[in-house]
Amino acid sequence: MVPRPRRSRSPDLILRVDPRAELGLQRQICQQLIDAILSGAFQSGRRLPSSRRMARQLGVARNTVVLACQQLVSQGHLIARQRSGLYVNDEMVPGLALSHRAEKSVGEEEAIDWPARMRPAPAPGNAYRCPPDWQKYPFPFVEGRFDRSLYPIEEWREATRLALGARQANEWSAEIGDADDAALIQQICEKVLPRRDIKARPDQVLLTGGREEALNLLAELLAGSGTKAGVEEPGNIVMRQLLLRRGASLVPLTVDEGGLVVSAAVDGCGLVYVTPSHQQPTAVTMAMERRTQLLAKAREQDFVVIEDDFECETNYLDDAYPALRGLPGGERVIYVGSLSRALASGLRLGFIVASPGVIQEARALRAMTARPPPLGTQRIAALFFSLGHYDRTMLRLGRVFHQRMVALRDALNHYLPQSIAIAPVRGGTAFWVHGPDGLDARDLARAAEARGLLIEPVSHHFASSPAPTNVLRMSVTGIDTAKIRAGVAALSELMREMSAAKIVWLDPEKGKWLGASELRRVLPGSAFLYKTVYGEPCTIELLRQGRMAGRAGYANEDRDSGRWWIEDGMWCRQWENWAYGEVSRYRTRIQGGRIEWFNAEGRLVDSAVFIPARDRAR
């Protein structure tokens, strides 16, 4: 009797599905089986486990496994043999003959001296690194990270669905060489650039795979050994490194509250790189007078200006200034823009606007490196524009960021009036925060991270001048408005703990706080003058009958009213809107023309210039 040949036993697999996942069970099984095939766990010639065994292991109905396997058969990944079972299709995995692969010797790769063969990128120094799981932190005040609530998922789905329709797909899938999608170029020329006072033809626009690719192309085209490049100080780390890599010598250009300071430092430069809308990293806006001065200098000294307008869509606190490219003399400006950074996870698109000759050279260079951004993505973006989704998304983001920036400003002003000052901004998504003298922002950031707070020290943004140790940056792109107050309160508590030796306490030998009778005598009709943490003047008037009026801003544009009273020897106040409308109680001392407020424990909370009622009546 001839023995029957023994069939090879199908291998056991560790398969897992998640019933709670958004992807259906059948699709999950398909993915797991394909992964097993591609990884070599299922080698050709071996039979798959039976549908009963897989269903038992996965804890799902057998029909679910059968349907998944039938789908893989129809796709060609598996072959069904009658009365035998399912096998891996050899033609689908020609490169998985693992047993015949030659193995490398253990030290072969280590023996190659790679560092000697490469030109390393400039060292990033002590650059801040945001944790990859930043969204799990309760209070992520980190710049450039956008929380999921900001992404227009439904609108993006609609544009994607339309782009994959037969007519649209036939258009964008056709081979067009190095050209960009004409529909998207038209949308940028008609809807994006006019907002920045820029008029451009299609031959003056080139699309890139984001802002960084645009800067890389321009650094390659314009910089080389011997090129003097003016860069902002502090400034964009990435652009600095790109220019250094091409052998350029950098000229640091001072930045203050009016943006780039235009001085003789730019003389002799071949190019000047500037971020005028919201300077990176301080977030200040370049003054209109300085924009005009820079363009005049560019013409006089014959240099080119690279205008990086990476946050042009967030000028919501004031009227936006025109882009440098849109001003008289703007023909010397190469404009770099990008579609909103909040959409970067699905739409990483940037663009360059320049003279046709520059665009032609940049297009040729792009053809040798990155090629055009995927045409499918370009068409999705064009439809996203044409359907009005981009405009509505930018309007919504502007409102959200405005609310968040005001909430952060007010929280800093409420919890840290003695310890914090912020640079004035005209929109944007981040504050450049000055802490008290002696604060080490790096130590603060490390301690804050341990408490769920993410803030960014800024020393790595300085290349030439000494970096301030007490400055940090706080952004609102990744934190919900409702969490901002609690986050700043936690930061305030941490700062007090870290600077306990520097806290000012009431010294009874140098003066004591006023009693109830003294407060009732000197406070009615008086006024307090001080500056907010955002540098604007504020006046508080204590009116008769316990009423209180407040004015803030250089045009008194921010007003509020409230009430004040004396209770248990403490001055009490409550605004209708300011300070969250909550009751505050202070021990009070007046000396040297200033009024000082201490909490119940005797710690100095705030102070102001004191104008008594008799002086106001003169």
524: left (phi over 0), alpha (psi -120 to 50) or beta: beta
State the pLDDT at residue 148: 85
Please name the residues in contact with 550: beta carbons below 8 A apart, sequence gap of 6 or more.
Answer: 538, 539, 540, 541, 559, 560, 561, 562, 575, 578
Residue that finishes a domain, picked among 78, 94, 110: 94
> Do 270 and 174 have their domain in common?
yes
Residue spans of the chain under pLDDT 50? 1-2, 5-10, 96-102
Classify residue 602: in a domain, yes or no.
yes
Contact call for residues 157 and 151 (beta carbons, < 8 A)? no
Classify residue 112: in a domain, yes or no.
no
Q: What is d(CA 480, CA 471) in angstroms, rounded to the nearest whole number? A: 23
Q: What is d(CA 157, CA 131) in angstroms, rounded to the nearest whole number? A: 29
Classify residue 109: in a domain, yes or no.
no
The CATH number of the domain where 519 resides is what? 2.40.128.640
Residue that finishes a domain, picked among 364, 391, 418: 391
> Do 453 and 524 have their domain in common?
no
Classify residue 1: in a domain, yes or no.
no
Domain containing residue 514:
508-616
Best CA proximity match to 238, nearest among 118, 127, 133: 127
Question: How many structural domains does the chain have?
Answer: 4
Classify residue 36: in a domain, yes or no.
yes
Q: What is d(CA 495, CA 487) in angstroms, rounded to the nearest whole number? A: 12
DSSP3 helix / strand / coil % (the chain, rounded to 5): 40, 20, 40
Alpha helices in 331-374 (DSSP H): 356-368
> Do 77 and 191 have their domain in common?
no
> Do 355 and 250 have their domain in common?
yes
CA distances from 114 to 109, 120, 185, 241 (A): 9, 10, 42, 21
State the pLDDT at residue 512: 76
State the pLDDT at residue 312: 65
DSSP state of 562: E
Q: Write out pLDDT tens, residues 393-422.
A: 888 988 999 999 999 999 999 999 888 888
Q: Write out pLDDT tens, residues 325-382.
A: 999 999 999 999 988 777 766 678 899 999 999 999 999 999 998 888 888 889 999 9
Classify residue 194: in a domain, yes or no.
yes
Contact call for residues 145 and 136 (beta carbons, < 8 A)? no
Query: pLDDT > 90: what percent of the chain?
Result: 47
> Do 44 and 179 have their domain in common?
no
Contact call for residues 412 and 418 (beta carbons, < 8 A)? no
State the pLDDT at residue 100: 42
Classify residue 16: in a domain, yes or no.
no
Q: What is d(CA 562, CA 264) in angstroms, rounded to the nearest whole number? A: 51
Identify how many contiguous H helices and E strands the chain contains and give both numbers.
Answer: 17, 24
> Do 183 and 290 have their domain in common?
yes
> Do 385 and 494 have their domain in common?
no
Best CA proximity match to 372, nearest among 168, 178, 175, 170: 178
The CATH number of the domain where 419 resides is what? 3.90.1150.10
State the pLDDT at residue 158: 93
CA distances from 50 to 9, 11, 66, 86, 344 (A): 11, 10, 9, 8, 44
> Do 490 and 530 have their domain in common?
no
Q: What is d(CA 1, CA 503) in angstroms, rounded to the nearest whole number? A: 98
What letter represents residue 191's amino acid? Answer: K
- The per-residue DSSP string of 159-226 comes to HHHHHTSHHHHHHHTS--TTPPPHHHHHHIIIIIGGGGT----GGGEEEESSHHHHHHHHHHHH--TT
Q: Write out pLDDT tens, residues 240-266.
A: 999 999 999 999 999 999 999 999 999
State the pLDDT at residue 12: 56
Classify residue 120: in a domain, yes or no.
no
> Do 425 and 557 have their domain in common?
no
> Do 412 and 544 have their domain in common?
no
Q: Give Rg (Cα) of the chain.
A: 32
Please name the residues in contact with 22: beta carbons below 8 A apart, sequence gap of 6 or more.
Answer: none
CA distances from 601 to 248, 411, 503, 506 (A): 58, 22, 12, 9
Q: What is d(CA 531, CA 417) in angstroms, rounded to the nearest whole number? A: 9
The CATH number of the domain where 284 resides is what? 3.40.640.10
DSSP state of 572: E
Q: What angle do CA 191, 192, 194 make, to 5 degrees?
A: 80
CA dihedral 177, 179, 184, 188 (to 10 degrees): 160
DSSP state of 503: -
> Do 402 and 379 have their domain in common?
no
DSSP state of 540: E
> Do 494 and 351 have their domain in common?
no
Query: pLDDT > 70: what percent of the chain?
Result: 89
State the pLDDT at residue 513: 81
Residue that finishes a domain, picked among 327, 361, 391: 391
Q: What is d(CA 193, CA 212) in angstroms, rounded to the nearest whole number? A: 19
State the pLDDT at residue 146: 87
State the pLDDT at residue 98: 44
The CATH number of the domain where 48 resides is what? 1.10.10.10
- The per-residue DSSP string of 394-434 comes to HHHHHHHHHHHHHHHHHHHHHH-TTT-EE---SS-SEEEEE
